[in-house]
């Protein structure tokens, strides 16, 4: 089979036939069940329309207040930008920058990038800097958390309803619909656009890496096993670069300077993510150190005419439970206490088994990794609740709220665990199952069919 007709599964590295243009939005890997992107020009209509509608809704959500509080004849309202400014004014600039990026900057960049590449392509034109914009899109997409923000607004409103009169504002209704629009837009895999680009250029399957090289038909073989490397940015497959030595063809050094470049999109390619296990373990250790301070230190300091109060994440869960709001208490406990701990344990287990110390069934390990990857973002819920509470509880001498250093520690835990998930390479799970191999992708097999 010709290399130009191949694609490697992003989760298990299984070599598959490159999907043709089809109206079926996605295909699945027969070994691990991962989604294999496939699309055609007709599907761009829905993406462009929803991305444009989402962009308009996004500006509405930014321009108007989210909710308004009324307490003793005094009112307080905030926008998302006002929430960021309130954190910055208190000197909590790490949280201010984080909230701004997750709720304003990254969502805007995601929608702008989608519109920039899909709208011209729907008209038959490939926009300039196509590859660069797609890589930016792939970078910011995991950090878009509008749906978590909306749940944070609901939790905050429920929390403050017992102390003040809560009035929904225009931005709240925009935030109700925006997550659903973004869910459809973000379900569209950017890597699928490379196939459409080649169709528009009139060179479909004629200019892919290694387009004239054939491979023997080996059932259920990975790209690494037959001397190939897959690009994580565009799904292109190419022969691994080898250097000559006294012992014949040997893999190129693992040094970053010697990274192989994809001839399709220009991104760096590695058989496996460099130092994946070492980086994952280092990030997990840092997150574990901060986990207890994040849950025990005060995250919010509230001052009212009745006195002052410090709240930690644990005390907040207890408060909601005792006041009868057990659904909110359950949500906060799962998102802010259970999820981070489960991520730490699960990722440590995957890193341990992938390192060759022990083994688990690869399909079980892959499914566990996907659960961690998809649900880990919801741990940011408490940060949004804290930010909104600080911005809304601003009644001068009546009541005010400030953030504590526990919030910074908790945000660091979430960021570290999410980054650890991104650094972990799920293909290592399948490498361990197949047998002892070089975890960094420097195997001894030469390029097949060369």
Tell me, what's the pLDDT at 262? 84
Two tokens at 273? 């993510």
In this structure, is residue 211 part of a structural domain?
Answer: no
Query: Taking residues 171-187, what's their average pLDDT?
Result: 93
User: How far apart (Å, rounded) are the C-alpha atoms in residues 219 and 18?
Assistant: 15
Q: What is the pLDDT of residues 412-448, one digit of tens each?
A: 999 999 999 999 999 998 887 664 444 444 433 333 3
In this structure, is residue 322 part of a structural domain?
Answer: yes
User: How far apart (Å, rounded) are the C-alpha atoms in residues 72 and 75?
Assistant: 8
Q: Record the pTM.
A: 0.84
In this structure, is residue 399 part of a structural domain?
Answer: yes
Tell me, what's the pLDDT at 20? 59
Tell me, what's the pLDDT at 398? 64
In this structure, is residue 20 part of a structural domain?
Answer: no
In this structure, is residue 10 part of a structural domain?
Answer: no
Helices (H) and strands (E) in the chain, counts: 16, 16
Cβ count within 10 A of residue 361: 11
According to DSSP, residue 10 is labeled T
C-alpha distance from residue 216 to each of 5, 6, 14, 206, 219 (Å)? 13, 12, 14, 20, 9
Task: Flag whether pLDDT at 298 surpasses 70.
Answer: yes
Q: Average pLDDT of the chain?
A: 82
Contact present, 7 and 230 (Cβ < 8 Å): yes
User: How far apart (Å, rounded) are the C-alpha atoms in residues 127 and 117?
Assistant: 6
In this structure, is residue 297 part of a structural domain?
Answer: yes
Contact present, 388 and 76 (Cβ < 8 Å): no
**Structural domain count of the chain:** 1
Task: Flag whether pLDDT at 255 surpasses 50.
Answer: no
Give the lowest-confidence range in 6-15, 29-38, 100-109, 177-186. Answer: 29-38
In this structure, is residue 4 part of a structural domain?
Answer: no
Q: What is the pLDDT of residues 320-367, one digit of tens each?
A: 888 888 888 898 899 889 999 999 999 999 998 887 666 778 889 999
Place of tokens 């691994």: 240
Place of tokens 């059932």: 219
In this structure, is residue 424 part of a structural domain?
Answer: yes
C-alpha distance from residue 231 to each of 9, 69, 236, 258, 259 (Å)? 11, 51, 5, 15, 12
Higher-confidence position of 331 and 24: 331
Q: Which of 146-150, 160-164, 217-221 is most confident?
A: 146-150
Q: Which domain holds residue 424?
A: 42-196+275-430
């Amino acid at each position: 089979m010709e290399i130009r007709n191949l694609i490697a599964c992003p989760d298990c590295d299984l070599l598959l036939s490159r999907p043709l243009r089809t109206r079926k939005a996605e295909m699945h890997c027969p070994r691990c069940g991962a989604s294999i992107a496939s699309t055609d020009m007709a599907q761009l209509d829905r993406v462009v329309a929803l991305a444009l509608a989402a962009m308009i809704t996004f500006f509405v959500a930014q321009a108007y207040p989210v909710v308004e509080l009324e307490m003793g004849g005094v009112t307080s309202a905030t926008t998302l930008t006002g929430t960021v400014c309130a954190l910055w004014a208190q000197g909590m600039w790490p949280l201010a920058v984080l909230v701004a990026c997750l709720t304003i900057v990254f969502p805007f960049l995601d929608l702008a990038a989608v519109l920039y590449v899909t709208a011209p392509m729907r008209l038959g034109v490939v926009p300039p800097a196509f590859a660069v914009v797609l890589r930016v899109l792939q970078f910011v997409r995991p950090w878009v958390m509008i749906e978590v923000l909306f749940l944070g607004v609901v939790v905050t409103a429920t929390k403050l309803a017992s102390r003040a009169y809560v009035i929904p504002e225009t931005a709240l209704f925009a935030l109700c619909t925006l997550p659903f629009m973004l869910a459809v837009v973000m379900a569209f895999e950017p890597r699928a656009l490379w196939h459409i680009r080649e169709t528009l250029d009139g060179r479909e399957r004629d200019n892919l890496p290694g387009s004239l090289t054939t491979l023997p038909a080996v059932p259920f073989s990975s790209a690494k096993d037959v001397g190939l490397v897959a690009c994580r940015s565009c799904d292109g497959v190419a022969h691994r670069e080898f250097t000559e030595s006294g012992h014949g063809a040997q893999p190129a050094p693992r040094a970053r300077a010697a990274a192989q470049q994809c001839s399709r999109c220009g991104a760096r390619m590695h058989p496996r993510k460099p130092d994946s296990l070492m980086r994952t373990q280092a990030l997990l250790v840092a997150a574990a150190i901060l986990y207890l301070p994040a849950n025990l230190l005060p995250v919010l300091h509230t001052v009212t005419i009745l006195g002052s109060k410090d709240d930690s994440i644990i005390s907040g869960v207890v408060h909601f439970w005792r006041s009868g709001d057990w659904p909110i208490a359950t949500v906060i406990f799962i998102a802010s206490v259970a999820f981070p701990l489960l991520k730490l344990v699960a990722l440590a287990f995957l890193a341990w088994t992938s390192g060759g110390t022990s083994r688990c069934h690869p399909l079980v390990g892959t499914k566990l990794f996907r659960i961690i990857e998809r649900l880990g973002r919801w741990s940011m819920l408490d940060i949004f609740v804290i930010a909104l509470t600080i911005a809304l509880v601003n009644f001068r001498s009546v009541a005010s709220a400030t953030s504590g250093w526990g919030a910074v520690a908790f945000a660091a835990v979430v960021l570290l665990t999410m980054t650890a998930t991104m650094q972990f390479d799920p293909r290592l799970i399948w490498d361990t199952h197949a047998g002892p191999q070089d975890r960094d992708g420097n195997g001894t097999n030469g390029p097949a069919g060369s």
